[in-house]
Chain A
């Protein structure tokens, strides 16, 4: 974990805890992961799984749109969901580093998905009782989807872990590459802490036991040893990203940047 003094002044807890940046963070996270999954479309390992990954991408894209629309409403500056998605630069994006990591191979994609789903599902479950009615409503719809995603990615971790020597080796590599990004999901930023203090957000520490139990179950089924703690990479939620996000955004935002202000 990074020492606290690495964070800039902008990350200091605001006097009141505005929901806007947090909703934007949720939106960015779902959009970037949906974008990554959509890169598989037409290139999946088997037709049935091509469809499965597109379904998850569509769920996340739908969820991202709900958050962006809500964020735009909270901001009240007349920006639209597309303005927020297409006209912000990488440093303004607030997704955790994990979701912007490249697909690389199916094992990396599965492990990235598993780490995210395990957090996403438990977060949404907690948000069901969020005092903010709109967030609670989005969570209610999304938690059903996330529950399926977690089932899907968990089963694939088990299959790849307890499959062939090659699948095991590839999954091991994915763990070596991606495990260090998991911790950021449950490490609150100053902004998240502020929202936790006023009771809008759940305490992430409270989500951890259920997440840990699920990980232990899946890894045992997959005959995988639990990964040892590694130096956690953080920063995405504060706008400090890996090199991958810039490329992703230049593709995602290509049309809006090339032809500003038009309707499509």
Chain B
């Protein structure tokens, strides 16, 4: 055993630990590429939570009942919390939140493209919870077992809190579908707009996702994009049927042989256009974040200045 360990390179030892499902912790040695990939992935995830507050935040002031208003506010607030947990996890890798935010604001860092679509009706609150959070959960649950300890622990917390999000979204949809015709139409119209963008959330097709193999090797990704997309369709089509809604894809059909649903092709031109910044809301989403950060600078500086003054006064007294 001893001798075998000694001939292994640090990379090989690292991979052996990952293969044995031993978590990597902040101070452990790790390949540079692993660190960089993780920072990119975790910060991208954190940015998505942060930007993801905006499309739903739109409707907090217009929620149709006091109960819905409370639920929506609590949910969007949870997203702030999730962003915070994830930024914290990324900070253990040697970056800072300020650096990550600077990358978001300059357009260097990405966030989930789904949030570049507009929320146009109350039914969108249902669709975002039911579909978008449903897709997010499929992505996130496997990450609770991801190889990097702080990331996995953050994801456990996120998933625990996220479970109410999808349920409240489904409940919004169900209430609409069981309501007046105008409400049912609202639900169908929203599903028509959100279905395809949600399928895009799982990322490009496996064939066009060159980093997948390495990420799966490192166990910072545990299923491929296409696997998760299929899982999602299999999960959601029956739920849409239960609601009495029609998924806007004429090719959706149960395949007895595969024991899975066949479905149509995502519009990849649209996918890449939105990723590259040409979605309907890319500009205003980013602008809202930059503005909040810039307008908050004086507040953060004031708190720092006050803390320094107070510390100086206490030092004199002591």
Interface residues of A (CB under 8 A from B): 31, 35, 38-39, 41-51, 54-55, 57-58, 61-62, 64-65, 68, 81-82, 85-86, 105-106, 158-160, 162-164, 166-167, 170, 251-252, 254-256, 259, 262-264
Contact = CB atoms under 8 A, between A and B. Distances in A.
B306 A159 contact: yes
B87 interface: yes
Given A41-B53, A44-B292, A166-B298, A251 B62 contact: yes
B288 interface: yes
Contacts of B70: 58, 61-62, 65
B120 to A, nearest CB: 13
Q: Which residue, of B175, B297, B298, has the highest number of chain A Cβ atoms within 10 A?
A: B298
B122 A45 contact: no
Interface string B33-69: 0000000000000000010011001001111111111
B183 interface: yes
A166 B302 CA distance: 8
Contacts of A50: 77, 80
Contacts of B77: 41, 50-51, 54-55, 58
The 4 A-B residue pairs with the shortest CB-CB distance, nearest first, are A45-B296, A163-B302, A167-B302, A255-B64
A42 B73 contact: no
A259 B182 contact: yes
Interface residues of B, number: 47
Interface of B: 50, 53-54, 57, 60-70, 73-74, 76-77, 80-81, 83-84, 87, 122, 172, 175-176, 179-180, 182-183, 288, 291-292, 295-303, 305-306, 309
A253 to B, nearest CB: 9
Contacts of A255: 62-64, 122
Nearest to A259: B182
B296 A264 contact: no
A65 B66 contact: yes
Q: Which residue, of B296, B302, B306, has the highest number of chain A Cβ atoms within 10 A?
A: B302
A23 B63 CA distance: 23
27 contacts: A35-B61, A38-B60, A38-B73, A43-B291, A45-B296, A45-B299, A47-B80, A51-B80, A51-B84, A54-B74, A54-B76, A58-B73, A58-B77, A61-B66, A65-B67, A159-B303, A162-B309, A163-B301, A164-B301, A166-B302, A170-B298, A254-B62, A255-B63, A256-B65, A259-B183, A264-B172, A264-B179
